[in-house]
Amino acid sequence: MLCCLSGWLCSTLFYFAILPAAILIGTKLIIKKLRGKVDLTNEVDIQGKTVIVTGASDGIGKVTAEEFAIRGARVIMACRNLQKAEKCVKDIRTRTTNGELILMELDLSKLSSVRKFAAEFLQKYGGASNPGGLSILVNNAGLAIAPGVRKVTEDGFEETFGVNHLGHFLLTNLLLPEMEKAGNVSTDPSRIVIVSSVAHVWGQINFDDLMFEKTPLEDWKVFSKFYCNSKLANNLFNLELAKRLRAKKVNVNSYALCPGYVETNIETNILRDNPPNWVWMKVIRPVLSFLMRKDAKEGTETTIYCALSKYLTHHSGEMYRNCEFWDYSKRIKLSEKDAAKLWEVSEKLVKLN
């Protein structure tokens, strides 16, 4: 009887605990193995060069700023919450004293703030006082908001589209002359790095309702629509920007990337405003997290790769994931026509000209 019971216990333990755990751990190891790694032996030198990281007060942006500082750059941390960002600087300084870390206020949900930031940057670090110009701009800041919670920026844009795309669109255009200047005095191109997401493949830009004024807001798909559309806009922007830079024959490259599924606060708003059901929270999410989730340092690797790898010097307009070129055209064909149209519409919305 005892023997029978222990046999049953052993097989239950094996099938319901040991085997699933072994499968999960094995799968996680395989996923890790399949991921690319940053090639640290082939980076451009950024000692003393000026770089900007938006959204450097948390998650991927904070680690990106730290990585640039370690390599001796002058890092402008463009953040909306300076108090929070100051704590990040203090924290980074406990690990490295290299480089410069400079805080500047930038709220991408306000065009006035973007213009003010660019003007201050030009005054302090641009023009004749900084002949080196701006070598790297990382458009990293981003947010995701819950379905049914359509928020509007002070300029009247749906918030996700306004922050993730339009704010960065204006910022990039205002800073381009400084990036061209940096490209002129260096053999390495200056680089615009756009932190997008694999989520862009589920986006669908509707030029008749860019701000979601008519689209019904009743389900999870709407979260996808807000976020995925803003990330699709990031990729279309990358495509058109690279095309325009090539046509101008300037030494400036542009890249988009997906950092992967990274342990940061980006989900906080969604989980708070629209808590998913029990199965998602207690089963699917923990399993996905265990298998796929990167910590913020791992999640920063592809940004660093796009910003610094010499392998990418002759590439522009492409997307990267896990430090490798990602041919997303198998999933979605980005329309050059849409990219050109989005540029024109964005120019009008941010009143660029």
Ligand X SMILES: NC(=O)c1ccc[n+]([C@@H]2O[C@H](COP(=O)([O-])OP(=O)(O)OC[C@H]3O[C@@H](n4cnc5c(N)ncnc54)[C@H](OP(=O)(O)O)[C@@H]3O)[C@@H](O)[C@H]2O)c1
Show which residues are catalytic: 227
Q: Does 141 bind ligand X (CB under 6 A)?
A: yes
Among 50, 53, 58, 301, binds ligand X (CB under 6 A): 58
In the bound complex, what is the minimum distance in angstroms from residue 8's beta carbon to ligand X?
42
Closer residue to ligand X in complex, CB, 292/340: 292
Q: Are 183 and 252 in contact (CB under 8 A)?
A: yes
Nearest to 106 by CA among 154, 51, 171, 164: 171
In the bound complex, what is the minimum distance in angstroms from residue 80's beta carbon to ligand X?
4
Burial 259-269 (b: 16+ CB within 10 A, else e): bbbbbbebeeb
Among 46, 52, 55, 111, binds ligand X (CB under 6 A): 55
d(CA 203, CA 206) in angstroms, rounded, equals 9
- How many of the chain's residues bind ligand X (CB under 6 A)? 27
List the structure tokens of 90.
């203090």
Among 38, 65, 104, 108, binds ligand X (CB under 6 A): 108
Which residues 258-277 are close enough to bind ligand X by CB under 6 A? 258-259, 261-262, 264-266
List the structure tokens of 274.
């629209």
List the structure tokens of 201.
């493949």
List the structure tokens of 347.
């120019």
Q: Does 203 bind ligand X (CB under 6 A)?
A: no
Q: Does 254 bind ligand X (CB under 6 A)?
A: no
Which residues 66-85 are close enough to bind ligand X by CB under 6 A? 80-81, 84
d(CA 174, CA 194) in angstroms, rounded, equals 16
In the bound complex, what is the minimum distance in angstroms from residue 262's beta carbon to ligand X?
4
229 Cβ contact list (under 8 Å, min separation 6): 160, 161, 203, 204, 205
Which residues 274-333 are close enough to bind ligand X by CB under 6 A? none
List the structure tokens of 184.
């002129």
Residue ranges binding ligand X (CB under 6 A): 55, 57-61, 80-81, 84, 106-109, 140-143, 163, 195, 197, 258-259, 261-262, 264-266
